[in-house]
Amino acid sequence: MTFISKIQINHLAVHVSSLERSMDFYKNVIGLKQADEPFKDGLHAWFEMGEKSTLHLIEELKATPPMEKSKTNHLCFIVGDLDFFIQNLKSYECSFENWAGDIGVINVRPDGIRQIFFRDPDGYWLEVNDDC
Protein backbone atom coordinates (compact mmCIF):
# COMPACT_ATOMS: atom_id res chain seq x y z
CA MET A 1 0.00 0.00 0.00
CA THR A 2 1.30 3.46 -0.91
CA PHE A 3 0.83 6.35 1.47
CA ILE A 4 0.81 10.04 0.67
CA SER A 5 4.08 11.47 1.92
CA LYS A 6 2.54 14.56 3.51
CA ILE A 7 -1.08 15.07 4.45
CA GLN A 8 -2.56 17.58 6.87
CA ILE A 9 -5.88 19.22 7.62
CA ASN A 10 -6.59 22.32 5.53
CA HIS A 11 -9.89 23.39 7.07
CA LEU A 12 -12.95 22.24 8.94
CA ALA A 13 -16.27 23.60 7.67
CA VAL A 14 -19.08 24.14 10.18
CA HIS A 15 -22.65 25.16 9.34
CA VAL A 16 -23.83 27.93 11.68
CA SER A 17 -27.21 29.56 12.16
CA SER A 18 -25.83 33.06 12.84
CA LEU A 19 -22.46 33.99 11.37
CA GLU A 20 -22.13 37.09 13.54
CA ARG A 21 -22.83 35.20 16.79
CA SER A 22 -20.46 32.34 15.86
CA MET A 23 -17.72 34.75 14.77
CA ASP A 24 -17.93 36.49 18.15
CA PHE A 25 -17.75 33.12 19.96
CA TYR A 26 -14.76 31.72 18.07
CA LYS A 27 -12.89 35.04 18.21
CA ASN A 28 -13.56 36.09 21.81
CA VAL A 29 -14.42 32.93 23.75
CA ILE A 30 -12.09 30.49 21.97
CA GLY A 31 -9.50 33.11 21.02
CA LEU A 32 -8.98 32.25 17.36
CA LYS A 33 -7.52 34.84 14.98
CA GLN A 34 -9.71 35.66 12.00
CA ALA A 35 -8.18 34.83 8.61
CA ASP A 36 -8.80 36.37 5.20
CA GLU A 37 -12.24 35.43 3.87
CA PRO A 38 -12.04 34.78 0.11
CA PHE A 39 -15.77 34.79 -0.71
CA LYS A 40 -16.59 38.24 0.71
CA ASP A 41 -20.33 37.49 0.64
CA GLY A 42 -21.21 37.93 4.32
CA LEU A 43 -22.01 34.22 4.70
CA HIS A 44 -18.51 32.87 5.44
CA ALA A 45 -15.78 33.47 8.01
CA TRP A 46 -12.41 31.81 8.39
CA PHE A 47 -10.30 31.46 11.56
CA GLU A 48 -6.73 30.25 11.94
CA MET A 49 -6.31 26.95 13.80
CA GLY A 50 -2.57 26.51 13.54
CA GLU A 51 -0.17 26.18 10.66
CA LYS A 52 -2.16 26.09 7.40
CA SER A 53 -5.38 24.92 9.11
CA THR A 54 -8.54 27.00 9.36
CA LEU A 55 -12.04 26.80 10.73
CA HIS A 56 -14.56 27.75 8.04
CA LEU A 57 -17.89 29.02 9.40
CA ILE A 58 -20.72 28.97 6.86
CA GLU A 59 -24.11 30.56 7.37
CA GLU A 60 -26.57 28.94 4.98
CA LEU A 61 -29.83 30.81 5.05
CA LYS A 62 -31.80 28.08 3.21
CA ALA A 63 -30.53 25.14 5.26
CA THR A 64 -31.02 24.11 8.88
CA PRO A 65 -27.91 23.20 10.90
CA PRO A 66 -27.63 19.48 11.69
CA MET A 67 -29.75 18.48 14.69
CA GLU A 68 -27.80 15.56 16.18
CA LYS A 69 -24.78 16.79 18.06
CA SER A 70 -22.96 14.03 19.88
CA LYS A 71 -20.08 14.76 22.24
CA THR A 72 -18.20 11.97 20.48
CA ASN A 73 -18.08 14.21 17.38
CA HIS A 74 -16.14 17.25 18.55
CA LEU A 75 -13.45 19.71 17.54
CA CYS A 76 -10.50 19.88 19.93
CA PHE A 77 -8.14 22.79 20.65
CA ILE A 78 -4.92 22.72 22.67
CA VAL A 79 -4.16 25.63 25.01
CA GLY A 80 -1.03 26.39 27.00
CA ASP A 81 -2.94 27.40 30.15
CA LEU A 82 -6.21 25.55 30.69
CA ASP A 83 -6.96 27.39 33.93
CA PHE A 84 -6.69 30.76 32.18
CA PHE A 85 -8.89 29.47 29.35
CA ILE A 86 -11.53 28.32 31.86
CA GLN A 87 -11.53 31.77 33.49
CA ASN A 88 -12.18 33.30 30.06
CA LEU A 89 -15.04 30.85 29.48
CA LYS A 90 -16.56 31.86 32.80
CA SER A 91 -16.28 35.56 31.92
CA TYR A 92 -18.50 34.84 28.90
CA GLU A 93 -20.85 32.75 31.08
CA CYS A 94 -20.01 29.65 29.07
CA SER A 95 -20.21 26.51 31.17
CA PHE A 96 -18.05 23.43 30.65
CA GLU A 97 -18.17 19.83 31.77
CA ASN A 98 -16.11 16.66 31.88
CA TRP A 99 -16.71 13.68 29.57
CA ALA A 100 -19.31 12.25 31.97
CA GLY A 101 -21.32 15.48 31.87
CA ASP A 102 -20.48 16.84 35.32
CA ILE A 103 -20.79 20.63 35.06
CA GLY A 104 -17.68 22.61 36.02
CA VAL A 105 -15.49 19.52 36.37
CA ILE A 106 -12.18 19.06 34.53
CA ASN A 107 -11.64 15.59 33.06
CA VAL A 108 -8.17 14.05 33.51
CA ARG A 109 -7.25 11.42 30.92
CA PRO A 110 -5.19 8.35 31.92
CA ASP A 111 -2.11 10.06 30.44
CA GLY A 112 -2.58 13.11 32.73
CA ILE A 113 -3.90 15.48 30.05
CA ARG A 114 -6.65 17.73 31.43
CA GLN A 115 -9.65 18.39 29.20
CA ILE A 116 -13.01 20.13 29.23
CA PHE A 117 -16.03 19.97 26.93
CA PHE A 118 -18.57 22.65 26.05
CA ARG A 119 -20.83 23.71 23.19
CA ASP A 120 -20.59 26.52 20.68
CA PRO A 121 -23.64 28.74 19.92
CA ASP A 122 -25.08 26.11 17.54
CA GLY A 123 -24.62 23.26 19.99
CA TYR A 124 -21.51 21.71 18.42
CA TRP A 125 -19.25 20.06 20.98
CA LEU A 126 -15.76 21.43 21.55
CA GLU A 127 -12.93 20.05 23.63
CA VAL A 128 -10.06 22.10 25.01
CA ASN A 129 -7.09 20.37 26.61
CA ASP A 130 -3.57 21.10 27.80
CA ASP A 131 -1.68 18.56 25.68
CA CYS A 132 1.18 20.97 24.86
Indicate which CATH number applies to the domain containing 40: 3.10.180.10
Q: Are 28 and 55 part of one and the same domain? A: yes
Looking at the domain assignment, is residue 5 inside a domain? no
Question: So what's the pLDDT on residue 1?
Answer: 52
**Total domains in the fold of the chain:** 2
Same domain, yes or no, for 92 and 118?
yes
| Domain assignment of residue 24, given as a range | 11-59
- Band of residue 64 on the pLDDT scale cut at 50, 70, 90: confident
In a domain, 66, yes or no: no
Q: What per-residue string of b and e applies to 74-85 under the rule 16 or more CB within 10 Å gives b?
A: eeeeebeebeeb
Give a yes or no: residue 4 inside a domain: no
Identify the residue with better confidence: 83 or 61: 83
Lowest mean pLDDT across 42-46, 56-60, 61-65: 61-65
The average pLDDT across 101-128 equals: 96
Domain membership of residue 82 (yes or no) is: yes
Q: Is 100 part of any domain? A: yes
Quote the pTM value: 0.87
Give 101-109's long-range contacts (Cβ < 8 A, gap of 24+).
106/82
Q: Are residues 55 and 101 in the same domain?
A: no
pLDDT one-digit tens code per residue, 18-48 = 999 999 999 999 999 999 998 899 999 999 9
- The winner for highest mean pLDDT among 7-11, 67-71, 110-114 is 110-114
